[in-house]
Amino acid sequence: MRVIDVTTHTVGTPWRELNFVELTTDTGLRGVGEARMVNKTDTLVACINEIGGRYVLGMDPFDVERLQWRVHWEDYARAGEVTQTALACFDQACHDLMGQELGVPVWKLLGGQFRQRVPSYANGWYQGDRNPESFATMVKNVVGRGYRALKVDPFGAATAELSQAQLQLSADIIGAIRAEVGPDVQIMIEMHGRFTAATALRVAEALEQYRPEWIEEPVPPYYPAAMKQVRAGTNLAIATGERAHTLADFREFFEQGTVDFVQADLTHFGGFTGMRKLAGWAEAYGLLMAPHNVTGPVGTAANLHFAIACGNYKILEHFNDFADPWVFDLVEGAPAVDPADGCFALPTAPGLGVRLNHEAIAARPRTRVHFNLMAEGWETRAAAPMPPVE
């Protein structure tokens, strides 16, 4: 079995663009992968086309380790977000093809079934006014759909610092959410790397009374000394890693003990091949995986297969019930959260178990959005289009 064609499809939403890669083999099988690239869709598609023509066309889809090695070594460049995302799309599609060829779901290729149910937490649900009453109202829909966990960034467009008034408003929002959902629902606090270490510690102290499950990216990931300062100053668990793209990027987090939950994104970390290595390394430090996931149904399916097979797994992020729920129509066989327990069920179809709906994809052309987390009102997820490239 050899890859004879590489095809890309991009779907636009008001705030994100979803990129699908489809590999066709000489045996007639089609494998699919997906990633969402923030504000760099053109760059990603160009990288996919370049890598695809150089290394993927003609390859045996089972040779994923060799593909990773070639991209990292033969290109003689430092792998980062764009390269690792392109590689992740290919890696997902290759595993999809492997599973189809063997007639088994992908999780059987990743170590087999460790669990039958995968807990999920909701994101993208707070698209209203930034005040406690609004958030308390919106969160009813989250728990009403069966979620036992949710994530929220209550900090508006804060950058580096946060005034006392804004800190109080943010704390009041979290307090209103906690009062509405009760003591048993997990609340993850998303900081989006907004703060200096000093500000992050002020925020952590103010929110500790609401028992958050973790604080996420309290400082930008490229300031290890600042992360050490936060770690030393709070008892709250710290989650980070969505903007780390290679194994080496996690070295200081692990060795310095500054991360409790590892949030690498499968679709930005080289796919299953990269994530399996990271999970093994995290296990050596007694850490749990909680992957970042802001993709549509294909990337979510890939994450689900990884979660089924990964022993040191905590929980899977999920946007699609609240942000652009029509993305379920982009495929056949989209995974969905069971409202009975807030979990994904065990997938059983061969490969990833999802197939692209090309008509639905064609009906949702690119939006060329610029999603700016530092702009007022970003929570509405109605980002402005990017200016055209000259």
Q: Is 95 a catalytic residue?
A: no
Q: Interior CA angle at 369 toward 384 and 336, to 5°?
A: 115
pTM listed for this prediction: 0.97
- C-alpha dist (Å) from residue 304 to 172, 266, 297: 34, 11, 10
Percent of all residues in the chain with a pLDDT value above 70, rounded to a whole number = 98
Q: Is 245 a catalytic residue?
A: no
Catalytic residue among 9, 95, 245, 292: 292
Catalytic residue among 192, 245, 268, 318: 192
Average pLDDT, the chain: 96
pLDDT of 382: 84
Assign 97 a pLDDT band (cuts: 50, 70, 90).
Answer: very high
- Other C-beta atoms lying within 10 Å of the C-beta of residue 225: 11
The gap between the terminal CA atoms of the chain, to the nearest Å, is 42
For 107-127, give one letter per residue: b (16+ CB within 10 A) or e.
bbbbeeeeeeebbbbbbbbbe
Residue 282, pLDDT > 60, answer yes
Architecture of domain 3-103+368-385: 2-Layer Sandwich (3.30)
Whether residue 300 contacts residue 327, with contact meaning beta carbons closer than 8 Å, is answered with no
pLDDT in tens, 17-60: 999 999 999 999 999 999 999 999 999 999 999 999 999 999 99
Domain covering 108-349 assigned CATH 1.10.600.10 in the classification: no
Domain boundaries of the chain, sorted by first residue: 3-103+368-385, 108-349
pLDDT in tens, 170-213: 999 999 999 999 999 999 999 999 999 999 999 999 999 999 99
pLDDT in tens, 257-281: 999 999 999 999 999 999 999 999 9
